[in-house]
Amino acid sequence: MLWDVSFGVGTGEVLGLIGPNGAGKTTVLECVAGLLPSDSGRILYRDRPLSSNRRKEALFYLPDGILPWAQQTVRWVLTFFEKLYARTPETLSALTGPLRLEEVSRSRVATLSKGERKRVLLALGLLTPHPLLLLDEPFDGLDLRQTRDVMSLLRRESETGRTLFVSIHQLVDAEKVCDRLVLLNAGERVAEGTLAELRAQANLQNGGLEEIFLALT
Amino acid sequence: MRSLSFVRLLAKELRELFASRAFWLLLLFVGILVGHGFMTAVGLYAEMSGSGGGPAALPQGLNSLDGVLVPTWGAYDLAATLLFPFVAIRVISSEKESGALKLLLQLPGTLISKVSAKALVLLFAWIVSWVPGIAAIVLWRSYGGHVYAPETLNLLLGHLLRGLLSGGLAVAAAALAESAASAAIITLAFTVGTWALDFVAAGRGGFVQQLASYTPTAALRSFEQGLLRWNALVVFVLLSCAAFGVAVIWLNTGHTIRARVLRTLLLLVFTIGAVWIGAGLRASRDVSENRRNSFPAADEAALRAVNQPLKITIFLSPEDPRLTDFEQNVLRKLRRSVSKLEVDYAATSSTGLFESTEEHYGEIWYELGGQKVVDRSTIEEVVLEQIYKLASVNAPERSSDDGFPGYPLAAQPKHAAAIFYILWPMVVIVTWWLARKF
């Protein structure tokens, strides 16, 4: 259940949504994507209301923990998205390298490990051309090196002007990749701002996101 | 761009179909079922045609539709009930359970186009499963068997509509239910419910019997008898579209449950209205070669001249075989020939062993133009005579030859066992294996 959650995100920004398990991070993302209904509220896109059936024109949401088209090969799933969104083969190959997908391209999605599956999902999300990309736990299941690679990839993506709205439960990762953060706890927005702004709201001179989070929740 | 997206979605659904075990199992088992039905039917047909040296049945009584095609294609009725729904359920449930539905909903195109792509692929799957049935027809022709194209195509149309409805219901159930198992239970419960309705409504008359005539099994029966009923066709198509419509409503997770229930109710009201109008279509076409659904042409012309309403009151219980005779041999034809016909099933008792029957039991009353005749016969000629007498119409001259020669054939089902029990399973398994490679 969510109450009175509101926030804004600017073009080319990486906005992090952080909170403990059960805080409502995935629910927020799915409501924004129009995959879950909300009792009230609205989404403004470039200062104009965006109805739920037009959301997919502006944004794409990549869920966590899904196993899409499990009996198909990785190559087919990626090519399906590439062709569906009329992307060039170069766009796809620019993703398969950093995400190390060449080695699993012939494997079926069902046979992939958790990390490999996450990398395939990230490639699908990054293949979409939408100006706003919503990612649910993009680093979940990735090892340290892969996490760093994906962070670089996401930063590069945001530098092209694409806006990323990312839900992360690992606060260390969130601190590294996000420009601004929204703190969510028990379905309510607790705070919003840059790391420095959040530090000020929490009355902390120093300290990382973990200390801020504990102070504010 | 839109049509290109649809083609890509269609290609995806096709790949998913080929990746589905349920589809390959449908193909595997339907071949065996068709083969068993075909060989049994050909053997019995040969016996009736006098292959064992015994007395042959009257040649006029032997036709390929009843003797071979309907029993062979009966396998598809079974498949539409017990196998095909699982193929249809998987088309929806696999994406719901894996979370792929969340991606699918965001892909280009409307949800209607996405469900339409699934419906088209299911139709393709159903038609592919007909290969053994078509092979059986080809084999029958190769034995020298007679095939009358209009009644055969009508039978195929019936099975096409049966499959479409079966697929639609399964897809709707999968969209409504949380899991594939729950969807299977809903689908089977619906099927068993229609069987019960079919059984309970037999010979009861009124709304219940009319409703039961549109259950999948009952509606298919008219196609099996060489009768193309436009109302059955329209109702089949409407119900199938409504079932896919329910799937569209319930797959849209962005709407509240309340909104989805309201939309479903609206769709139901619209469908009931459309079905009610469609059910009122009385036109039908007897495409059987032996015109089993029609009176002789001269009688039909004479009956068309009867403009006043004809009321028939039947005092026979639903369990009475005379009622079945009367329904099959007379009423079915009268409904097609007389424009204003009212049938009242007046018997309130059953024919239990120790039960005394009610007054008038066994009688059939014919009322026309304020006159009434009571009779007990269920024979076509006698009934028509009574109607002509009431309508003061001269009975037309009847020809002793109805023009249908009958097609006795004492053939053995050569090569059928090898084709249906060995070759077909091998083809399915090899194609399944190859499909997994790509």
Tokens of B367: 């009322």
Q: With an 8 Å Cβ cutoff, is B107 touching chain A?
A: yes
* Pair A4, A190: CB distance under 8 Å: no
**CA nearest to A40 within chain B:** B256
Where exactly does CATH 3.40.30.10 map onto chain B? Answer: 297-391
Does residue A28 lie in a domain region? yes
Return the DSSP state at B395.
P
CA-nearest of B171, B198, B210 to B187 is: B171
pLDDT digits (tens, 9 = 90+) for A91-148: 999 999 999 999 999 999 999 999 999 999 999 999 999 999 999 999 999 999 999 9
Domain that holds residue A169: 14-64+129-216
Does residue A52 lie in a domain region? yes
The stretches of A66-204 forming alpha helices (DSSP H) are: 74-84, 89-96, 114-127, 144-159, 171-177, 195-201
Domain containing A38 — which CATH number? 3.40.50.300
**CA nearest to B256 within chain A:** A37
pLDDT score, position B283 = 85
pLDDT score, position B204 = 67
Q: State the number of CA atoms in the 13 A half-sphere of B66 facing the CB.
A: 15
Interface A-B, measured as beta-carbon pairs within 8 A, has a size of 64
Distance between start and end Cα atoms, chain A: 17
Verify whether the Cβ–Cβ distance A53 to B254 is below 8 Å: yes
CA–CA gap between residue B24 and residue A153 (Å, rounded)? 42
Q: Output the DSSP codes for B204-253.
A: T-HHHHHHHTTSHHHHHHHHHTTEEEHHHHHHHHHHHHHHHHHHHHHH-T
pLDDT digits (tens, 9 = 90+) for B301-345: 888 888 889 999 998 887 788 888 898 889 988 988 888 888 888
Verify whether the Cβ–Cβ distance B256 to A34 is below 8 Å: no
pLDDT score, position B352 = 52
CA–CA gap between residue A64 and residue A59 (Å, rounded)? 16
CB burial readout B306-318, b (16+ within 10 A) else e:
beeebebbbbbbb
Residue B426: helix, strand or coil by DSSP? helix
Task: Per-residue pLDDT tens, chain B, 438 aa: give them.
Answer: 567 789 999 999 999 999 999 999 999 999 999 999 999 999 999 988 887 665 566 766 789 999 999 999 999 999 999 999 999 999 999 999 999 999 999 999 999 999 999 999 999 999 999 999 999 999 999 999 999 999 999 999 999 999 999 999 999 999 999 999 999 999 999 999 999 988 887 766 667 777 888 889 888 999 999 999 999 999 999 999 999 999 999 999 999 999 999 999 999 999 999 999 998 888 889 999 988 898 888 888 888 888 889 999 998 887 788 888 898 889 988 988 888 888 888 877 665 555 566 788 888 999 988 889 999 998 988 999 989 888 888 888 776 666 788 898 999 999 999 999 999 999 999 999 999 877
How open is the CA angle B429-B430-B432, to the nearest 5 degrees? Answer: 65
CA–CA gap between residue B231 and residue A4 (Å, rounded)? 54
CATH topology of domain B297-391: Glutaredoxin (3.40.30)
CA-nearest of B12, B27, B14 to B430 is: B27
Tokens of B251: 């797959």
CA-nearest of B409, B417, B289 to B44 is: B409
Is the backbone of residue A48 left (phi > 0), alpha (psi -120 to 50) or beta? beta
Does residue A23 lie in a domain region? yes
Does residue A58 lie in a domain region? yes
pLDDT digits (tens, 9 = 90+) for A190-210: 999 999 999 998 888 887 888
pLDDT digits (tens, 9 = 90+) for B114-123: 999 999 999 9
Strands, E assignment, chain A: 14-18, 44-45, 48-49, 59-62, 132-136, 163-168, 180-185, 188-193
Q: Taking CB atoms and an 8 Å cutoff, what residues of chain B touch A76? A: 15
pLDDT score, position B54 = 59
CA-nearest of B107, B106, B83, B103 to B95 is: B103
Q: Which amino acid is at A88?
A: T
Test the A interface: residue of B6, B102, B433, B437 with most A CBs within 10 Å: B102
Q: Which amino acid is at A100?
A: R
Does residue A88 lie in a domain region? no
Tell me the shortest Cα–Cα distance from B129 to chain A, in angstroms. Answer: 22
Domain tally, chain A: 1
DSSP run (H or E) holding B259: helix B257-279
- Name which residue leads in pLDDT, B354 or A149: A149
Report residue B328 CA to chain centroid gap: 17
Q: State the number of CA atoms in the 13 A half-sphere of B423 facing the CB.
A: 10
* Pair B121, B94: CB distance under 8 Å: no
CA–CA gap between residue B409 and residue B388 (Å, rounded)? 39
Report residue B199 CA to chain centroid gap: 15
pTM: 0.90
Tell me the shortest Cα–Cα distance from A69 to chain B, in angstroms. Answer: 7
